[in-house]
Amino acid sequence: MQQHALGKSGLKVSVVGLGCNNFGRRMHDIAPIRAVVHKALDLGITLFDTADVYGENGKSEQFLGEIFGARRKDVVIATKFGYSGGSSRQGVMRAAEASLKRLRTDWIDLYQVHFPDPRTPIEETLRALDDLVRQGKVRQIGCSNFSPVQVVAAQEISSKLGLASFVTCQDEYSLLVRDIERDLVPMMQQHSMTLLPFRPVASGFLTGKYQRGKPLPKGTRLASSSHHASDIVNEHNWAIVEQLQAYAARSGRSMLDFAFGWLLAKPVTASVIAGATTPEQIEQNVRAGAAQLSAADIAALDRITR
């Protein structure tokens, strides 16, 4: 599988990553999780994105730590902290040690601030992260859900003080959610950062498996999360999806090809993080990640979703 670098770090990841937020949430037994992870490894996925709050008591990290074993050296583990514990120095250090223990590893490849912490100066967080990098416990750092102003402030502090700097932003980005194009994407390009887009298929709405006027299929992400469903399932998005479906029928492409191919055509995208609950979904994601869309396809998708 093709690989992209994370910012200017030299750390490379597969262009399709596995989002591990289902582990410990929708999936509670290790056997099916192991099947998903092993299929991902076998098909060339190297990026596994998780967080200390995915699954009760860090279950997602715990499952990954148990499954990787000797293959730890073959993967890039990206995890996050700060969702509930804040980003103070004490919080950063405590969270890192807990994640390392659950993941059964000596280092985290990409350690990301999950959300901005309004109670802690970003300099304090960056100094703590820099210490973890110098100790060899973290290779690179990134941020998630930061505003462009917040990212720029962090990058300026890192540059001024000679601290490790963010190489990635992880934010929602898809054919249905394009807000970050206005300010965040240009800022990232200016600072040579790369993007790890989450919800690339809008919690499954861009896969084509939902039908207007019919109940949401049981077991799907949107059926199990009323919060996500209320954000995504609306008349505006239905109109876009139906236009995409019509274009897919004319072009002989799948909706998944469009969702992945469009994101990977953006120079700022390093890897598309997509969740999966079955090995078959991993296979579908990898095929979509290999889709080479034409310039005409990209232009058409931009017109439909702009």
Residue 66, C-beta contacts closer than 8 angstroms, at least 6 positions apart: 30, 104
Residue 271, C-beta contacts closer than 8 angstroms, at least 6 positions apart: 4, 13, 14, 15, 16, 17, 47, 196
Contact 64, 37 (CB under 8 A): yes
Q: In angstroms, what CA-CA distances link 45 with 17, 108, 204, 214, 223? A: 6, 17, 20, 34, 27
Alpha carbons 254 and 81: distance in angstroms, whole number: 35
- Which among 54, 111, 173, 210 is annotated as catalytic? 54
Which value, to the nearest 10 degrees, does the dihedral of the CA atoms of residues 118, 77, 133, 113 take?
Answer: 0
Alpha carbons 110 and 107: distance in angstroms, whole number: 9
H or E stretch covering 48: strand 47-49
Alpha carbons 263 and 266: distance in angstroms, whole number: 6
Burial of 160 (0-12, 13-18, 19+ CB in 10 A): exposed
Alpha carbons 177 and 305: distance in angstroms, whole number: 9
Active site (annotated) includes residue 54: yes
Catalytic residue set: 54
